[in-house]
Amino acid sequence: MKYGLYSAYKREAALHARNGDTAQARACLELAKEIEKDIDSIADDKARRIMRLRYIDGWTWTKIAMTDGQTEAAPRNYIARHSEVYSARRRADARQNSSTDNSKAQRTAQP
């Protein structure tokens, strides 16, 4: 059985905890929580479901596709398209925030 990133970080945390490395165990648990939080924040229901199955539950692309009666490439392509849209939105938000920050800096710099 394959495991997703979430499960891998949880296993790593348990291993580090057994070895007495609590700082590393906490770091692994934080990464696992961050993965789950990021996936839960996806607005698109289908993309969120696919990402949860793939990266938390550890399903293969083939198994995910079979649940929807699709080819293996379909869920992978859907996520690729979703990622492109998400990245474009993040870049636009960053530009907007940058220009807002620059405007504030210019107003405060004026005498």
Residue 103 has pLDDT above 60, yes or no: no
Cα–Cα separations (whole angstroms), residue 75 to 18, 32, 39, 47? 37, 23, 15, 8
Q: How far is it, in rounded angstroms, from Cα 81 to Cα 87?
A: 10
Cα–Cα separations (whole angstroms), residue 39 to 51, 54, 82, 90, 94? 7, 11, 12, 15, 20
Predicted local distance difference test score (pLDDT) of residue 82: 84
Cα dihedral 48, 52, 54, 59 sign: negative
pTM: 0.65
Residue indicated by tokens 């990266």: 55
pLDDT tens digit string along 35-80? 888 889 888 999 999 999 988 888 999 999 999 899 999 999 999 8
Domain count, the chain: 1
Q: Which domain holds residue 88?
A: 5-109
